[in-house]
Structure 1
Amino acid sequence: MRKSVVNVHIQTTAHDHGVSLAEASRVWARIALLSFGGPAGQIAVMHRIVVDERKWVPESRFLHALNYCMLLPGPEAQQLATYIGWLMHRTVGGLVAGGLFILPGVISIMALSIIYARWGNVGIVGGLFFGLKAAVLAIVIEAVARIGKRGLKSPAMQLLAAASFVGIFFFALPFPALILASALLGYVSAARGNPAFVSVGHGAAHEDGESVLGDGTPVHAHPSGKRALQIGLIWLAVWLIPVVAILFVAGQGNVFSQIAVFFSKMAVVSFGGAYAVLAYVAQRAVETYHWLTPAEMLNGLGMAETTPGPLVMVLQFVGFMAAFRSPGDLPPLLAGMLGGLLASWVTFAPCFLWIFLGAPYIEKIRSNKALSGALAAITAAVVGVILNLAIWFAIHAIFRKTVAVAGYGLSFDAPVLASVDFWSLALSVAAAMAIFRLRVGVLQTLAGSCLAGIGLFLVGAI
């Protein structure tokens, strides 16, 4: 018998929409292979395919899920794919969508990490990464401008972005504390009716039109305390049992233990996307653990920029280099591969936990002004954090030497002006002009900068 329209709207199963898991898997694979250009580009591709072409979910549903994912630690685009996959085909759908989203990046970054570890400082490969570093600096600056223009909609948000930058750059305030404090400020402000913090897109009119899921709530999306407990225990075990096992077998001083613990902590505090968290990761990986240099962090980000998948895949490169340089009894390349995969595991396993545990409750609350205020405040703070990242990268990419400034609460690295690398400065300026003035795409800019770096090597300039 045909179901009533009311019943379909209120309570649908994961398969009433008529989209098979096999068909969805092919679409998610296509999205994964097209997921270049950072979270903004990835979300745009997903929106075009999922909302406009396939009409799986309406615009309002897509934006609601995106707002939740932006409030979470971890890569919002991958979590958004997991969320929509879960809405469509329950847990297995979320695993397929989220897993396929990162698979091309895992394979690509692993291959590039091996090439870099074996030949990265040799000849033409060194020139290629020299050019890559300059382009990445321009791309990060462009990210500051893009996110700032889109996200800083009021003087209060601009002030919060400036305060976030000053706090993290000049005073080394903890990144997680800045984000959480900003979220609390935005939440309380919006809850009291203060319009100072306005979420991007909040209140905008749009036509949802028809979609296969409509605006109803699937049966499996209704929250349940028992189900939440089961999900929490299962995914905590998936995430943390390997970490505990490595600590037990290898001890706290082992590089694999350090990777497992460090990136597990990072997975909990990595609010604001890849650009924002890189400042935190770079500081610890470079200055505390000495796993790699600032220039190598730029090279890793360049790899992530030029391959499909979340930009946070750069963390796999960091894990690879850490284990490659401290392999213990293992062959260095094997240790590097295991270190890279471990970093990816503890980075992405929590993402599934956040979605499968929280999504039913987010589905229950579709409109919440206080939550929108928290999102807007986080967006503002993230602009300041990304600006910090851009300046940190610029100092270490363009200047060969820095001097530590400390005292009166200050703690930052100042460049030694006499140590400027003029070729790196010239390439960075050229890349910035290509992006800002000539409107050249990210991939084209990266390719041109890499070719320029190779050319400088061939003529003996670097």
Structure 2
Amino acid sequence: MANISNTNSNRKPKAVLIAPANANEFGHEISFQQAFYVWLRVAMLSFGGPAGQIAVMHRILVEEKRWVSENRFLHALNYCMVLPGPEAQQLATYIGWLLHGTRGGLVAGGLFILPGFISILILSLLYAGFQDATLVQAIFFGIKAAVLAVVIQAVIRIGSRALKNAYMYMLATAAFVALFFFAVPFPLVIVTAALIGLIGRYFDPQRFVIIKGHSASQDNDQAIDKMIDAGDAHHTKATFKRAIKVLSVWGTLWFTPLVALLLFLGPDDVFTQIGLFFSKLAVVTFGGAYSVLAYMAQEAVEHYGWLAPGEMLSGLAMAETTPGPLIQVVQFVGFMGAFRAPGSLDPFTAGLLASVLATWVTFVPCFLWIFLGAPYVEKLRENRSVSAALSAVTAAVVGVMLSLAIWFAVHVAFTEVTTEQFYGVQLMSPAWNTIQGASVMLAIGAFVAMLRFKVGMLPVICVSALLGAIYYLLFPVS
């Protein structure tokens, strides 16, 4: 026994790392596989434009899964709102990155795009080959009504958390009026709100700092927040070396195809034109797809000849009634452009390649903005001036979401809607004889089911899709 004791005493003690049960390399219990299926679910339910998509993520990630706190969700959302590109896809990328690093951001942001890409590709093939997608339109007739209910519910829930005092209500109201009645550019609304927050922080800090850091949270059991509070989120640290690496990798991914097209096909080839045009669009798309639709349509129809007059509306209808960002309409534009000028390729092959190209140059910059800027945004969470600015932006975003919700509601309820101008004020003017009673009833039913009876979003959307399809096929909507 003595020999054994002496032998053991001469050995160096081994370091023992005690990790929490089920914890992974990031210091939380959520596995990459779990996250994958949740992100896939988010992607499949991401209908209704940015308002609906943000509502879906808020419901699943904040309320149901409790992966991220309300404050951190809004902080990330506000950063995404001031970036060019689709804010909902960038928000998914941001939270995926917080959860599992670059791999998590790629999966969350990539899956967010995938269902819409596949859907619009199929619809583009049908449109180009058969000019008929009645069954798909029938299915999405009911889905749009259910998504309207999701959007309204999101406005109510996020508004109840962000609008804590009269200042925030005034900011939300001003943002709504500016956008809905005066068509003030979205970036101007957001920048103005941020400036008001910065100024207000010095006059009344208690009321202007609504979005607070983790120290102010009373309920901090969310996986991401616990990980960061424990100091385990090493992948979120902002360093100059990391920034250079991100710029090098994503800049190469973005520009290599463009350089190759210019060198091998020349500047006048349709693929080169598609790549360059949508790359330019990717850096000016502030305020979402609607802010650049008119410009995109004008260029695609009049300058490049990719679309016939009126076809932009068909592409927008595809993007509005399929999951994913509305800016995915670029895929349809690119498809039709290459389909009509395929060169030596088969028209459908050319359309498919152009779909991939347009999607690539549109969304690669989105990953660049998030992976480059998110570490610095996280670093500034405890800065009270930044918190005041983002609190004001959040209040303005509620007004933005309300504006989008009303726009969406009018287009769900009526088949014909025009916009009229009166002394600088724009007003939506629906044709009352085109009201769709079935859509209104489906939306009301979905809203009551989710808000009053707490029915899950997926069952509500499925039932609405089924009922809407039956009605649409029996009584076609003109």
Relative to the length of structure 1, the TM-score reads 0.74
Percent pairwise identity: 29
Q: Work out whether 1:384 is the aligned partner of 2:399.
A: yes
Distance 1:49 1:416, change over 3 A: closer
1:266-345 correspondence to structure 2 within 5 Å: 266=285, 269-270=286-287, 277=288, 279-280=290-291, 297=316, 300-304=319-323, 311-312=324-325, 314-316=326-328, 318-326=329-337, 327-330=339-342, 333-345=348-360
Find the aligned partners of 2:408 and 2:391 in 1 and give their Cα distance. Answer: 26
The CA deviation string for residues 405-447 of structure 1, in whole angstroms up to 9 with x for no partner, is 2242223442232333334334333333433444333222222
Q: Work out whether 1:262 is the aligned partner of 2:286.
A: no
Deviation at 1:174, TM superposition (A): 0.6
Find the aligned partners of 2:281 and 2:222 in 1 and give their Cα distance. Answer: 45
Distance 1:220 1:325, change over 3 A: closer
Of 249, 252, 270, the residue aligned with 2:267 is 249
Find the aligned partners of 1:34 and 1:128 in 2 and give their Cα distance. Answer: 19
The CA deviation string for residues 12-66 of structure 1, in whole angstroms up to 9 with x for no partner, is xxxx97569xx964354344234355345546655799987xxxxxx78x96586
> Which SS does the other structure have where 2:322 is aligned?
helix
Find the aligned partners of 2:314 and 2:153 in 1 and give their Cα distance. Answer: 19
Of 73, 78, 94, the residue aligned with 2:93 is 78
Q: Which residue of 2 aligns with 1:370?
A: 385
> Which SS does the other structure have where 1:303 is aligned?
coil
Q: Which runs of 5+ in 1 are unaligned?
A: 6-15, 53-58, 87-93, 271-276, 305-310
Find the aligned partners of 1:139 and 1:49 in 2 and give their Cα distance. Answer: 15
Q: Work out whether 1:406 is the aligned partner of 2:421.
A: yes
Of 161, 178, 182, the residue aligned with 2:189 is 178
Task: State which structure, 1 or 2, has the greater radius of gyration over its C-alpha atoms.
Answer: 2
> Contact between 1:184 and 1:374, CA under 8 Å: does it hold in 2?
yes
Find the aligned partners of 1:427 and 1:44 in 2 and give their Cα distance. Answer: 21
Q: Which residue of 1 aligns with 2:48?
A: none
Find the aligned partners of 2:375 and 2:76 in 1 and give their Cα distance. Answer: 11
Find the aligned partners of 1:103 and 1:302 in 2 and give their Cα distance. Answer: 19
Deviation at 1:173, TM superposition (A): 0.8
The CA deviation string for residues 359-391 of structure 1, in whole angstroms up to 9 with x for no partner, is 444454451111211221111111111222122
Find the aligned partners of 1:187 and 1:433 in 2 and give their Cα distance. Answer: 39
Q: Which residue of 1 aligns with 2:123?
A: 116
> Which SS does the other structure have where 2:42 is aligned?
coil
> Contact between 1:264 and 1:346, CA under 8 Å: does it hold in 2?
no
> Contact between 2:176 and 2:400, CA under 8 Å: does it hold in 1?
yes
Distance 1:385 1:101, change over 3 A: same
The one-letter amino acid paired with 2:136 is: V
The one-letter amino acid paired with 2:119 is: L
Of 110, 127, 139, the residue aligned with 1:103 is 110
Distance 1:103 1:159, change over 3 A: same
> Contact between 2:415 and 2:434, CA under 8 Å: does it hold in 1?
yes
Q: Which residue of 2 aligns with 1:131?
A: 142
Find the aligned partners of 2:25 and 2:161 in 1 and give their Cα distance. Answer: 36
Distance 1:283 1:372, change over 3 A: farther
1:187-198 correspondence to structure 2 within 5 Å: 187-198=198-209
The one-letter amino acid paired with 2:267 is: V
Find the aligned partners of 1:362 and 1:403 in 2 and give their Cα distance. Answer: 40
Q: Which residue of 2 aligns with 1:89?
A: none
Deviation at 1:166, TM superposition (A): 1.2
How many pairs align? 421
Find the aligned partners of 1:149 and 1:284 in 2 and give their Cα distance. Answer: 36
Q: Which runs of 5+ in 2 are unaligned?
A: 1-12, 18-22, 46-52, 302-306
Find the aligned partners of 2:297 and 2:403 in 1 and give their Cα distance. Answer: 16
Alignment RMSD, CA only? 4.1
The CA deviation string for residues 220-265 of structure 1, in whole angstroms up to 9 with x for no partner, is 7654445534544543443355457668634799455443322332
> Which SS does the other structure have where 2:267 is aligned?
helix
The one-letter amino acid paired with 1:67 is: H
> Contact between 1:260 and 1:342, CA under 8 Å: does it hold in 2?
no
> Which SS does the other structure have where 2:208 is aligned?
coil
Find the aligned partners of 1:220 and 1:459 in 2 and give their Cα distance. Answer: 54
Deviation at 1:208, TM superposition (A): 6.0
> Contact between 1:183 and 1:378, CA under 8 Å: does it hold in 2?
yes
Moved more, 225-234 or 173-182: 225-234
Relative to the length of structure 2, the TM-score reads 0.72
> Contact between 2:193 and 2:396, CA under 8 Å: does it hold in 1?
yes
> Contact between 1:134 and 1:428, CA under 8 Å: does it hold in 2?
yes
Deviation at 1:459, TM superposition (A): 2.7
Find the aligned partners of 1:3 and 1:182 in 2 and give their Cα distance. Answer: 52
